[in-house]
Structure 1
Amino acid sequence: FWNFKSRTTLRFLTWFELLNIRPVSAARVSGRYLTHQKGLPGLPVPPLQQTCERYVRALEPILEVDELKQTRELVAEFQKAGGVGERLQRSLEKRAQNTENWLSEWWVLVAYLDYRLPVVVHSSPGLVLPRMNFSDKQGQIRFAAKLTAGVLDFKTMIDNETLPVEYLGGKPLCMNQYYEVLSSCRIPGLKRDSVVNHAKTSKHITVVHNFQFFALEVYNSDGTPLTADQLCIQLERICSASLQTNVEPVGILTTQHRDSWGKAYVNLSKDKTNRESVSAIQRSIFTLCLDGAMPQVSDEMLRSCAAVQMLHGGGSQWNSGNRWFDKTLQFIIGEDGVCGANYEHAPAEGPPIVALIDHAVEYTRKPEMAQTPMVPLPMPQKLHFNITPEIKKDIEEAKHAMNILAQDLDMMVTVFGHFGKNVPKAHKMSPDAFIQMALQLAYYRMYQRCCATYESASLRMFRLGRTDTIRSASSASAAFVRAFDDPSKPKVDLMEKAVNAHRSYTNMAITGQAIDRHLLGLKMVAVEEKLSIPDIYTDTAYAKALHYKLSTSQVPSKTDCVMCFGPVSSDGYGVCYNPMNDHINFAVSSFNTCKETNAAHLAQAVEGALLDMRTLLEQTPKAKL
């Protein structure tokens, strides 16, 4: 849970520094955003030979010797002078010269819009906020109103193009994703989905309560956003107008396999009323989901159950129908103080979403403003749906499939409370590399082998940059984890090498020199030019390289929250973490249908690995780490 370019040499940055992004305020200058964007470099195409060498190196810890030998031969063939690799490389370089970003359009299609599994669990991340201090309808409405006012406050900066530009290592970052998260929505297709954005015209939000949808205008006639007091009145009206509970949960259709939802969408859209209601949801700024209370659970399990609510809503008997999962941004406010968000991944990565949420949550903590003079407000508009027997059948199928998926997901949210970023930083180590090596050690202790590991790296140093892959499993990490529990082996040097290898790969990735998107680009060129797919892509090693049993992401925030997402392979784990100064929030997921995986066991193993690595550091105070 799966939100950089110039060729000039970057100072060797720690991952902590990379994520400690500095915002720099800007004055209101019309068109400033576009000027800023034009000044960003384009995504480079790495040298072919460099990528081929790094690809083979990345396979070393996860392949058997004989498999590696065969792959070396195929790679040598692929990159030989005058060969197919060189032809594809030339075409890719030409594309890079003629497009804003040679990757971004392909990436959105391959990673999201062509991907046909449900967005729920498989693609869309959830975000769990700290539990808020209310436990009734009144408190829920008040908090929802303040949060909405906070999002609208952030939207003003987007609309005025006064959003502070972010910098990384002195270089400005692409701000495009911030302009894509509000007022946009995914639309299901029969074979491929699309995304629409209504930023120029959107004036309302969608509110869902008891599976019923409402369009709520959030701007006064003079163009000013509604205040928290005004929003409170409107949300109370919505809750009063939707007390009945025997309503067909139309929103659950958005949890389906995309092909099934594409067909159901055609059925749903035949009716004019349905078409208008769906259009109102798609055009809204964001969706606000007012949920009923969750089942009572122990304090220890509360965060994990909250993560389930944010990821999929808990199944048809709980809140899975109280959503529109195609909406780019959904805020979820439970009556019991359980709050968070879910976002559809196609338009953006986690960091812009987190920045928006940090701003909105901070806004809710501001003291109450003076009472707003009350002007009559128009009634929120209820969005009606005509449910035919065919649509009813689609809804029942969606409920059934959602319940199977909900039962299959194993989710564990833990707070590692022994230390946070402070310990690795005190030893001059990158906190992210330190945590990634703990994940490698934990996995190795559970399975006695290394696995392909994905960590998301931001490419926002480049115009329209999205992500590349940091491959955390390296020869250095393999040597480290294999030696760790062997008393006869020296470990500190190996840990230092593993951490440095990770930091080095991170630096490569954010400067556009990693291997995964380059290899994808070369393959896409072959497809577009109708060439036969080169053998390196049909080689079992390539499939193994992309079979991520650990899919990981660091999503830091000011708010003490954690993002969560499902595994990307049926026998793997999803691991998201937010390193705070003195603790680390982890969300670990796996599938119950896989007997080899267990989210709680991995979370426990990570805790043990982190503690053992700290002990090793403290026993070797002079180590130059």
Structure 2
Amino acid sequence: MAEAHQAVGFQFTVTPEGIDLHLSREVLKHIYLSGVTSWRKRAIRLKNGILTGVYPASPSSWLILVIAIMSTLYTRVDPSMGMIDSIKETLPVSDYMTVQTQTVVSAILFATGLWFSLILILRYTLKALLSYHGWIFESHGKKSFSTKLWLNLVKMLSGQRPLLYSFQASLPKLPVPRVEDTVRRYLESVRPLLDDEAYKQMETVANEFEKDPAPKLQKYLILKSWWSANYVSDWWEQYIYLRSRGPIMVNSNFYTMDLLYITPTHRQAARAGNVVHAMLQYRRKLERGEHAPVIPMCSFQMERMFNTCRIPGVETGNQEKGSFPGVPCHVSAPADYLQHLKDRKHLVVYHRGRFFKVWLYYGGRHLFPSELETQFQRILGDPTEPRPGEERLAALTAGDRVTWARARMKYFSQGVNKASLDAIETAAFFLTLDDESHGYDPENGRSLDMYAKSLLHGKCYDRWFDKSFTLIIYKNGKMGLNAEHSWGDSPIVGHMWEYVLATDCFQLGYTEEGHCKGDTNKGLALPTLLQWDIPSECQEIITRSYTLAKEIADDVDFHSFLFDEFGKGLIKRCRTSPDAFIQLALQLAQFRDKGKFCLTYESSMTRMFKEGRTETVRSCTCESTAFVRAMEDEGKTRLELFQKAADKHQNMYRLAMTGSGIDRHLFCLYIVSKYLGIDSPFLKQVLSEPWRLSTSQTPQQQLNLIDIQKFPKYVSAGGGFGPVADDGYGVSYIIVGENLITFHISSKFFSPETDSYRFGQNIRQAMLDIKALFNVEKKKP
């Protein structure tokens, strides 16, 4: 009845006595409040936009400078060296402007010009400071004088409270490496994987490429780096993600898990209420730019976290399959695109085969957690059955992209289908109230495996894989995320996830019965059940997409486990990098698992540059293979070889972070060659090499909202992704505090070479074997 009440908020009828108006004060009140909220939001955005635009200065500094310049007029000192008089001469003479007024206006204009000039000087000074990366190559805990000086200058210019996007204009551009350096590092990276004859052939091909056509391709790439904000990111987004025509479920999307040991409430609707409210708080701060920036990291990716959806496009060009899936031969062929909107006021909820639209605002404010809980409980209790084709509709987003694009154009471009699809694609995000229960169970060794598979692909039709992310709330109160990859990378999602977990547990909280705190508003409009009219031909297409998606999902062999023998604390006492330690353990595990080495991908970030995303660290090196062989051959120089391999890995990681990586440069050279119609055997060979071991570290404690020393149970299990190669492994790991590391391993069942559980056991043993090289013991808690 609430919708009917609001619908008659404004009504008029024509009678013999005239027009009879009926106005609802309640509805008019909400209209007024909504307008006030909208204008307040615009004012805050305008204010923060100004603060960001003049950063590292502040508007108050303009007033101080104007007062200082004006005060000099009375001391007969001219700091402008005649410029104020020159400005005064150019001002239009008017009967309404006295000589004194002209002087004052001229002084204000001069002060304003001087202020803008100082802003530019400060901004370019800050950019020069942020271009210095020497600090990253220094040993942990040791700072040179130049680094200390650099750090103090950055702090001084950063101000006291910079906003999220304050540093964007001061970040340096990603540099284009020299071709000679990239080719040399590439040859060095493949040396341990090739015999002498194969390496000699590759060296010949690489040297020929370096002579021709590399110089020509490089010139175009340098020109692009001058013109664009980042010479890699737009092409990376287009050709790696958006032009890929294969299913994005498992192959591209990734997931993030809930807290490991804590379930704040077992009430599904209540957990959804708190978490959605926390996400709305995060989004509000994000839209206003009020989150504290991670200095000196680029925040560009965060803009599209909410209100974003990937829209399928029909591909007409052929593809060249390689280690960069989605790089087409015809680079001008159509592709998917990202639709990003501002301030969407609803989300769409999927439960038991139905889609519901839920408004997130009431009277110009966000719904309170208790109000959201009421809405979600209404959905859980709704007995409506799905309409034909509705239950598995989202399988279209899990299947082939061309099939989905054509079905979307033919069956969802008009009528109720278009209106309902628009509601999904324009929603703030997508929420699934799952009818299963998942989470970590210490008594069930497979619990994390099933939890990971559920987050990664679910039933193949109960997540909208095109949305920027799908929030999944399970029946037992546990939760997780499935994120689309083209708009951003896992550290960006992790930033939001840390905020949500901390807000949910430590700020919002629950009642003793497990409900959201606060009163329940029974006057809310009911969630709207989306309507569909899906013809039988479209239902057949949905079934085919589901069948394809289910084949992919059923083939995913997943194993997640907690490594609690030791963690970051002990590794640091070994005086080595935790990431290098784990990467060398992965190399040892890979060799024991398959009896050979393989090309290894480790994701690094380039967010110290404007619009930076990722770079590859090629973790399999001559130094790492020498160490692994020594571990297997009972060599006496194991520790020395380990230190050399760890130092090598650390140096490569630092080079990747500072713009001197290999793979993004080669990728962009390849794209230029395709535009120019140049065939390069070297680039073709590089892009055809499979990554049989693909690895990534999930960051944690980006916000430091939870003190895990004080609250050790409030830690997340991190997240993971699907296998990259048919006969390889995908490994994600998160270093949780001082004494825990969580691993997520994926592979494919159909490959006789892989077994995720077996690889997990090899990782565990490799970690222990490397630890045995050092005379250290785990500290007692």
TM > 0.5 fold call: yes
Residue pair 1:133, 1:337 contacting (<8 A) in 2 also = no
Shift in CA distance, 242/517, structure 1 to aligned 2, threshold 3 Å: farther
Count of aligned positions: 593
Does 2:135 align with 1:10?
Answer: yes
Map Cα deviations across residues 104-163 of structure 1 (whole Å, 9 max, x no partner). 110001210011221111000011223676699x70110011111111111121011111
Does 2:518 align with 1:361?
Answer: no
2:428 aligned to which of 276, 285, 298:
285
1:98 aligned to which of 221, 227, 232:
227
1:61 counterpart letter in structure 2: P
Map Cα deviations across residues 472-495 of structure 1 (whole Å, 9 max, x no partner). 001111111111121244100110
- The CA distance in 2 between the partners of 1:135 and 1:461, in whole Å, is 36
Map Cα deviations across residues 153-209 of structure 1 (whole Å, 9 max, x no partner). 111210111111002xxxx110011111111010111112111111x2411111111
- 1:534 counterpart residue number: 680
Residue pair 2:264, 2:505 contacting (<8 A) in 1 also = no
Shift in CA distance, 496/457, structure 1 to aligned 2, threshold 3 Å: same
- The CA distance in 2 between the partners of 1:537 and 1:158, in whole Å, is 40
- 2:294 counterpart residue number: 166
Does 2:590 align with 1:449?
Answer: no
Larger-gyration structure (1/2):
2
- The CA distance in 1 between the partners of 2:652 and 2:140, in whole Å, is 10
- 1:606 counterpart residue number: 763
1:67 counterpart letter in structure 2: A
Residue pair 1:131, 1:339 contacting (<8 A) in 2 also = no
**What is the SS of the residue equivalent to 1:455?**
strand
1:506 aligned to which of 643, 648, 653:
653
Residue pair 2:369, 2:518 contacting (<8 A) in 1 also = no
- 2:205 counterpart residue number: 74
Describe how 1:119-268 pairs up with structure 2 within 5 A. Answer: 119-130=248-259, 139-167=267-295, 172-191=296-315, 192-198=335-341, 200-222=342-364, 224-241=365-382, 244=385, 248-268=391-411
Does 2:446 align with 1:301?
Answer: yes
- 1:53 counterpart residue number: 184
- The CA distance in 2 between the partners of 1:56 and 1:374, in whole Å, is 66
Shift of 1:244: 3.1
Shift of 1:417: 1.2
- 1:496 counterpart residue number: 643
- The CA distance in 2 between the partners of 1:90 and 1:573, in whole Å, is 37
**What is the SS of the residue equivalent to 1:618?**
coil
- The CA distance in 2 between the partners of 1:453 and 1:362, in whole Å, is 35
- The CA distance in 1 between the partners of 2:140 and 2:525, in whole Å, is 49
**What is the SS of the residue equivalent to 1:60?**
helix
2:584 counterpart letter in structure 1: M
- 1:522 counterpart residue number: 669
Residue pair 1:526, 1:532 contacting (<8 A) in 2 also = yes
Shift in CA distance, 16/609, structure 1 to aligned 2, threshold 3 Å: farther
1:345 aligned to which of 485, 490, 500:
485
Is 483-492 or 342-351 further displaced after alignment?
483-492
Shift in CA distance, 11/130, structure 1 to aligned 2, threshold 3 Å: closer
Shift of 1:35: 4.5
2:196 aligned to which of 65, 86, 89:
65
Identity of aligned residues (%): 30
Does 2:768 align with 1:593?
Answer: no
Shift of 1:44: 0.6
1:599 counterpart letter in structure 2: S
Shift in CA distance, 565/491, structure 1 to aligned 2, threshold 3 Å: same
Shift in CA distance, 412/330, structure 1 to aligned 2, threshold 3 Å: same
Map Cα deviations across residues 296-328 of structure 1 (whole Å, 9 max, x no partner). 996211111010110000x3xxxx322111001
- The CA distance in 2 between the partners of 1:503 and 1:533, in whole Å, is 35
**What is the SS of the residue equivalent to 1:606?**
helix
- The CA distance in 2 between the partners of 1:598 and 1:399, in whole Å, is 26
1:308 counterpart letter in structure 2: K
**What is the SS of the residue equivalent to 1:116?**
coil
Shift of 1:281: 0.9
- 1:556 counterpart residue number: 699
Shift of 1:555: 0.4
**What is the SS of the residue equivalent to 2:454?**
helix
2:663 counterpart letter in structure 1: D
Map Cα deviations across residues 494-517 of structure 1 (whole Å, 9 max, x no partner). 100111111000000000100100
2:224 counterpart letter in structure 1: R
Does 2:224 align with 1:84?
Answer: no
- 1:21 counterpart residue number: none
- The CA distance in 2 between the partners of 1:295 and 1:75, in whole Å, is 50
Map Cα deviations across residues 70-101 of structure 1 (whole Å, 9 max, x no partner). 11111111222xx3211111111111001111
Shift of 1:355: 1.2
1:357 counterpart letter in structure 2: W
- The CA distance in 2 between the partners of 1:542 and 1:100, in whole Å, is 25
Shift of 1:601: 0.6
**What is the SS of the residue equivalent to 1:206?**
strand
- The CA distance in 1 between the partners of 2:351 and 2:160, in whole Å, is 40
1:281 counterpart letter in structure 2: I
Structure 2 residue ranges without an equivalent (≥5): 1-126, 143-154, 316-334, 511-515, 702-714
Report which structure shows greater RCO (CA 8 Å, sep ≥6): 1
- 1:377 counterpart residue number: 524
Shift in CA distance, 288/451, structure 1 to aligned 2, threshold 3 Å: same
Alpha-carbon RMSD: 2.6
- The CA distance in 2 between the partners of 1:591 and 1:386, in whole Å, is 37
- 2:417 counterpart residue number: 274
Shift in CA distance, 28/179, structure 1 to aligned 2, threshold 3 Å: farther
Shift in CA distance, 37/619, structure 1 to aligned 2, threshold 3 Å: closer
- The CA distance in 1 between the partners of 2:366 and 2:420, in whole Å, is 23
- The CA distance in 2 between the partners of 1:274 and 1:612, in whole Å, is 58
Shift of 1:538: 2.8
- 1:20 counterpart residue number: none
**What is the SS of the residue equivalent to 2:200?**
helix
Is 83-92 or 583-592 further displaced after alignment?
83-92
Shift in CA distance, 513/572, structure 1 to aligned 2, threshold 3 Å: same
Residue pair 1:442, 1:606 contacting (<8 A) in 2 also = yes
Structure 1 residue ranges without an equivalent (≥5): 18-23
Residue pair 2:433, 2:473 contacting (<8 A) in 1 also = yes
TM-score by length of 1: 0.90
Shift in CA distance, 423/131, structure 1 to aligned 2, threshold 3 Å: closer
Residue pair 2:168, 2:299 contacting (<8 A) in 1 also = yes
- The CA distance in 2 between the partners of 1:502 and 1:131, in whole Å, is 30
Is 206-215 or 586-595 further displaced after alignment?
206-215
2:741 aligned to which of 562, 584, 590:
584
TM-score by length of 2: 0.72
Is 138-147 or 581-590 further displaced after alignment?
138-147
- The CA distance in 2 between the partners of 1:134 and 1:457, in whole Å, is 32
Shift of 1:397: 0.9
**What is the SS of the residue equivalent to 1:10?**
helix
- The CA distance in 2 between the partners of 1:70 and 1:153, in whole Å, is 57
Shift of 1:277: 1.1
Is 377-386 or 355-364 further displaced after alignment?
377-386
**What is the SS of the residue equivalent to 2:625?**
helix
Shift of 1:376: 2.1
- The CA distance in 1 between the partners of 2:306 and 2:650, in whole Å, is 33
Is 610-619 or 90-99 further displaced after alignment?
610-619
Residue pair 1:548, 1:569 contacting (<8 A) in 2 also = yes
